[in-house]
């Protein structure tokens, strides 16, 4: 018999989504990795012996740790690291070898969304959390979460054709 720790399978399934969420919460990619590590280890130590850990718990731990860490940083460090905040959400996704204009337009549109809508969108679409879990993760009301998600989708639906059109214009000129 071969035995493998369950956390490895769990992390292989959820790690990419957790890291993407952490990138939205952290000031730089290194902090994002530290956040994921710290949050995951804390939660797995508490509940990992059961073999079943709800991803929502780890998302919430990431969020709370990010807030704690942000409070502990002084203003100078925050200013120095400000540039990293500009790294777009689209950089967290896998790019295929083939050029897919539709996907590129979608990612550009996602980048244009306000931060609070991107948070909800990533937890709902890629984190596969329910609105209830998202509201508890982000400490927001259920209505706020649902409306942010709806606004985000509405804007994307409007912006993607726009982005595609702009791309065509750029290629013609």
Cα–Cα distance for residue pair 173/170, rounded to 1 Å: 5
Nearer to another protein, 17 or 27 (CB): 17
Nearer to another protein, 54 or 102 (CB): 102
Residues at the contact surface with another protein, assessed by CB under 8 A: 1-9, 11, 15-20, 33, 36-38, 40-42, 44-46, 48-51, 64, 68, 92-94, 102-103, 106-107, 110, 121, 125-126, 150, 153-154, 156-157, 160
Nearer to another protein, 80 or 147 (CB): 147
Cα–Cα distance for residue pair 142/78, rounded to 1 Å: 31
Tell me how far, at minimum, the Cβ of 10 lies from another protein, in Å.
9
Asked if residues 156 and 109 have their Cβ atoms less than 8 Å apart, the reply is yes
**Hey, is 30 helix, strand or coil?**
helix
Asked if residues 36 and 63 have their Cβ atoms less than 8 Å apart, the reply is no
DSSP labels, 34-58: HHHHHHHHHHHHHHGGGS---HHHH
Tell me how far, at minimum, the Cβ of 173 lies from another protein, in Å.
27
Tell me how far, at minimum, the Cβ of 34 lies from another protein, in Å.
9
Nearer to another protein, 5 or 165 (CB): 5
State the DSSP code for 81.
Answer: T
Going from the C-alpha of 50 to that of each of 3, 42, 44, the distances in angstroms are 16, 14, 9
Nearest to 122, CA basis, from 18, 36, 29? 18
Tell me how far, at minimum, the Cβ of 92 lies from another protein, in Å.
5
Tell me how far, at minimum, the Cβ of 114 lies from another protein, in Å.
16
Nearer to another protein, 80 or 166 (CB): 166
């Amino acid at each position: 018999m071969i035995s493998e720790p369950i956390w490895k399978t769990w992390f292989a399934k959820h790690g990419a989504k957790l890291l993407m969420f952490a990138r939205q919460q952290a000031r730089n990619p290194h902090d994002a990795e530290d956040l994921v590590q710290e949050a995951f280890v804390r939660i797995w130590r508490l509940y990992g012996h059961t073999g079943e850990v709800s991803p929502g718990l780890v998302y919430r731990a990431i969020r709370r740790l990010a807030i704690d860490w942000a409070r502990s940083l002084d203003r100078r460090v925050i200013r120095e690291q400000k540039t990293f905040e500009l790294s777009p959400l689209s950089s967290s996704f896998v790019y295929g070898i083939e050029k897919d204009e539709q996907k590129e337009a979608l990612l550009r549109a996602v980048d244009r969304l306000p931060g609070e809508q991107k948070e909800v969108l990533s937890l709902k679409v890629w984190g596969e959390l329910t609105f209830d879990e998202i509201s508890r993760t982000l400490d927001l009301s259920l209505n706020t979460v649902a409306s942010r998600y709806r606004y985000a989708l509405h804007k994307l639906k409007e912006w993607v054709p726009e982005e595609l059109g702009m791309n065509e214009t750029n290629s013609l000129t």
